[in-house]
Amino acid sequence: MGYVKAAIQAKTITLRINIDRMKILDILNETDSAIIDEKASRKLCKSSKPNSKLGASNLASCKSQGWRTRSGKKSHKVGKKRVEVGGKKIKGKQYGGPLPDYS
């Protein structure tokens, strides 16, 4: 009888821990989405600050808004043509541009 009671208590504790973990993850997900949805300001994107001094999220936002040039030899289909986007200021789909959103 003592073993069954201990097993029930262990499952209850595990259940409580999982519920608390879910609540924490829900809170984290809410704050993450709030941070992700915010775009970088035009002032920051147009500043003379080098790409290496910007945060990854801000840099990606600036590139997607078409304020900073893209890097690398990645190519995308823009319309019916395949275009190499490195060194060009091309807006992403989220901001009304032709580049597709793969996220």
Residue 103, in any domain of the structure: no
Residue 64 in tokens? 């997607």
Residue 78, in any domain of the structure: yes
> What pLDDT, in 10s, does the model give residues 34-86?
555 678 999 999 999 999 999 999 999 999 999 999 998 888 888 888 989 89
> What pLDDT, in 10s, does the model give residues 4-25?
556 556 556 565 666 666 666 6
Cβ-based neighbours of 71, under 8 Å, separated by 6 or more: 51, 86, 87
Q: What is the extent of the structural domain holding 56?
A: 2-95
Is the pTM of the predicted complex or chain greater than 0.75? Answer: no
Instruction: Count structural domains, the chain.
Output: 1
d(CA 51, CA 48): 9
Residue 19, in any domain of the structure: yes
Residue 100, in any domain of the structure: no
